Amino acid sequence: MNLLKKLLSGLGVVLIAGCTKNFQQYNTNPDNATQQQLQYDNLGTGVFFSQMEQNIFPTAQEPAFGDEMYQVVQNLCGDVYSGYMGASDNWFGGVNNTTYSMTPSWYGQAFGRAFLSVMPAWLSIKKQTRGNPATQHIYALAQIIKVESISRTTDMYGPLPYKQFGAGGLTTTYDPQDSIYYSFFADLDSAIATLSTYVQNNPGSMPLASYDLIYAGDYTKWIKFANSLKLRLAMRLVYVDPVNAQKYAESAVNNAYGVFTSDADDALLQSADGINIHNPLQIICFNFNDIRMGATMESLLTGYKDPRLSYMFNPAVRDGKYHGIRTGISIPNISMYTDPFSTLNVATTTPIRWMSAAEMYFLRAEGALRGWNMGGGTAQSLYETGIQTSFTQWGAGSAAAYILDSTDKAAVYVDPSNSANNLSSGISTITVHWKTSDPMETQLERIITQKWIAMYPDGQEAWSEFRRTGYPRVFPVVVNNSGGLISTSAQIQRLPFPQSEYQSNATGVATGVAELGGPDNGGTKLWWDKK
Tell me the per-residue interface mask from 216 to 235 with another protein, x by CB under 8 A, - otherwise: --------------------
**For residues 49 and 383, what is the distance between their CA atoms, to the nearest angstrom?**
34
User: Which helix (H) or strand (E) element contains residue 501?
Assistant: helix 499-504
* Candidate ranges 24-32, 300-308, 420-428, 452-460; the one touching another protein (CB under 8 A): 24-32
The contact pattern for another protein, residues 355-374, with x = CB under 8 A and - = no contact, is --------------------
Residue 105 touches another protein, criterion: CB under 8 A: yes
Q: Are 257 and 220 in contact (CB under 8 A)?
A: yes
Q: Which CB atom, from 395 or from 483, has the smaller least distance to another protein?
A: 483
Could you give phi then psi for residue 241, rounded to 5 degrees? Answer: -150, 70
Residue 375 found at the interface with another protein (CB under 8 A): no
Distances 303 to 179, 397, 469 between C-alpha atoms, Å: 42, 19, 22
Interface residues for another protein in 485-514 (CB under 8 A)? Answer: 485, 498-501, 503-505, 508-509
Residues 285-304 that bind another protein (CB under 8 A): 286-289
Enumerate residues 146-185 that contact another protein by CB under 8 A. 160-161, 165-172
The residue range among 86-94, 249-257, 393-401, 465-473 that interacts with another protein, by the rule CB under 8 A, is: 86-94
* Three-class SS of 321-343: CCCCECCCCCCCCHHHHCCCCCC
Asked whether position 456 contacts another protein by CB under 8 A, the answer is: no
Among positions 76, 234, 281, 283, the unique one binding another protein when judged by CB under 8 A: 283
CA-to-CA separations, 176 to 235, 248, 253, in angstroms, rounded: 18, 20, 27
Q: Which of 16-24, 142-150, 296-304, 461-469 is the region at the interface with another protein (rule: CB under 8 A)?
A: 16-24
Residue 143 or residue 450: which is nearer to another protein going by CB? 143
Which of the stretches 19-27, 247-255, 291-299, 374-382 binds another protein when contact is defined by CB under 8 A? Answer: 19-27
Q: How far is CA 299 from CA 341, 346, 373, 390, 409, in A?
A: 13, 20, 34, 19, 9
**Residue among 84 and 157 whose Cβ is closer to another protein:** 157
* Interaction between residue 4 and another protein (CB under 8 A): yes
Candidates 285, 257, 301, 403; CA nearest to 348 is: 285
Interface with another protein in residues 423-452 (CB under 8 A): none
| Spatial separation of the C-alpha atoms in residues 10 and 33, rounded to whole Å | 37
C-alpha to C-alpha distance for 385 and 357, rounded to whole angstroms: 10
Nearer to another protein, 60 or 252 (CB): 60
Part of the chain binding another protein (CB under 8 A), chosen from 40-48, 373-381, 441-449, 469-477: 40-48
Q: Is 35 in the site for another protein (CB under 8 A)?
A: yes
Q: Are strands 85-87 and 352-355 parallel, antiparallel or unpaired?
A: unpaired
Helix axes 357-369, 379-394, angle to 10 degrees: 170
Among 333, 425, 436, 489, binds another protein (CB under 8 A): 333
Handedness of CA 314, 316, 320, 324 (dihedral sign): negative
Q: In the chain, what is the greatest distance between 2 CA atoms, to the nearest angstrom?
A: 101
**Residue selected from 74, 101, 196, 279 as contacting another protein according to rule CB under 8 A:** 101
CB 308, min distance to another protein, A: 26
Q: Of the listed pieces 180-188, 244-252, 283-291, 438-446, which binds another protein according to CB under 8 A?
A: 283-291
The answer to whether 334 contacts another protein (rule: CB under 8 A) is yes
**Per DSSP, which regions of 123-208 are E strands?**
none
Based on the shown chain and the rule CB under 8 A, indicate whether residue 419 belongs to the binding site for another protein. no
Tell me: does residue 415 bind another protein (CB under 8 A).
no
- Positive or negative, the Cα torsion across 441, 445, 451, 452? positive
Q: Which of 45, 338, 385, 491 binds another protein (CB under 8 A)?
A: 338
- The yes or no reply on residue 524 touching another protein (CB under 8 A) is no
Query: Quick one: 25 or 489, whose CB is closer to another protein?
Result: 25
Contact pick of 206, 216, 275, 423 for another protein (by CB under 8 A): 275
Q: How many beta carbons lie within 10 A of that of residue 127, not counting itself?
A: 13
Contact (Cβ atoms closer than 8 angstroms) between residue 249 and residue 231 = yes
DSSP state of 429: -
Q: Which neighbouring-strand residues pair with 221?
A: none
Cβ pair 224, 260 in contact under 8 A? yes
Give whole-number Cα distances, 426 to 28, 304, 422, 472, in Å: 63, 17, 12, 11
478 binds another protein (CB under 8 A): no
Does residue 31 touch another protein according to CB under 8 A?
A: yes
92 touching another protein, by CB under 8 A: yes
Report the residue from 82, 90, 464, 493 that binds another protein according to the rule CB under 8 A: 90
Stretch that binds another protein, among 130-138, 227-235, 268-276, 372-380 (CB under 8 A): 268-276
